[in-house]
Amino acid sequence: MPHWIWKNWEQGKIRMVTEGMRGSMVGEKAEREHRQNRLVQYLIETMHMHNTYAFGYFFCEALNFINVVGNIFLTDRFLGGAFMTYGTEVVNFSNMNQENRTDPMVAVFPRVTKCTFHKFGPSGSIQKHDALCILAQNILNEKIYIFLWFWFIILSVLSGLAICYSAAVVLMPSTRETILKRRFRFGAPNAVDTIIRKTQVGDFLVLHLLGQNTNQLVFGEILDEFVRRLNFGSNSNLPSAPSTLEMSPIYPEITKYKETET
């Protein structure tokens, strides 16, 4: 459900703006620069307009954590309160003396049970026979649920760390600075300071996702151009790219312009 919510919230924004720029650098220099200019122009035009987008991203991260924790409690209730400590008891069981240990998996999923068979006797009457039956399905069930226990624990820890990471990005500008310098190796101090000061959380999130979906060298060039336009603004002599506010994919366009009448 969180994945479905995010896909509908995100609506392919990052895929559209990075169209043709993902993976290795392919194509002529002029074509690559044209795409980069289009992308930077979009970032400039939509400054401070991505906070709702960021809210959806952080909201879905919180839903991921709630989802896995909720699964743990529901599974524990389904197994009669035995799931919470199931994994730790299995680990402790493997370290116990074989003569004094009791398998916790057998307590939750018994492998043998008393059963009654009804058979026709020699005279045609039904006879009851007591027997011990092997529950083969439980031999598989105990392995499935021990895997689920460790899987849920791993997911809950990773989801919790993701929330802490997102909180640090929102609340601590120094975290954003570290991400730019270490994650994306964008090390110009003045440029990093400009990005931190002039962008909001939503803008930074879009930059972060762009960096994850483009070549590192290309992304560095995009950040350089982005910083130049932030510093010089409308007074710069940089060439202006076509408007991308409509979120159209950055395809190489061949446009025929009409000759200006003199």
- The DSSP annotation for 97-155 comes to -TTS---HHHHHS-SEEEEEEEEE-TTS-EEEEEEEEE-HHHHHHHHHHHHHHHHHHHH
Bridge partners (DSSP) of residue 133 are 113
Question: What was the pLDDT predicted at 248?
Answer: 41
State the pLDDT at residue 252: 38
The predicted-structure confidence for 205-214, as pLDDT tens digits, reads as follows 998 888 888 8
* Tokens 């392995």, residue located: 143
Largest pairwise CA distance in the chain:
116
pTM given for the model: 0.71
What secondary structure, in 3-state letters, does 181-214 show?
HHHCCCCCHHHHHHHHHHCCHHHHHHHHHHHHHC
The predicted pLDDT at position 96 comes to 67
Of 10, 52, 6, 60, the closest CA to residue 202 belongs to 52
Which amino acid is residue 29, in one-letter code? K
Tell me the pLDDT tens digit for each residue of 52-66. 999 999 999 999 999
User: What is the per-residue pLDDT for 255?
Assistant: 37
What is the model's pLDDT at position 245? 41
| 75-127 pLDDT per residue, tens | 999 988 888 888 888 777 777 666 666 677 777 888 888 888 888 877 778 88
- Count Cα neighbours of 41 within 13 Å in the Cβ-side half-sphere: 19
What does the H/E/C string look like for 162-176? HHHHHHHHHHCHHHH
Q: Which residues of the chain have pLDDT under 70?
A: 20-29, 96-102, 187, 233-262
For the chain, what percent of residues have pLDDT higher than 90? 18
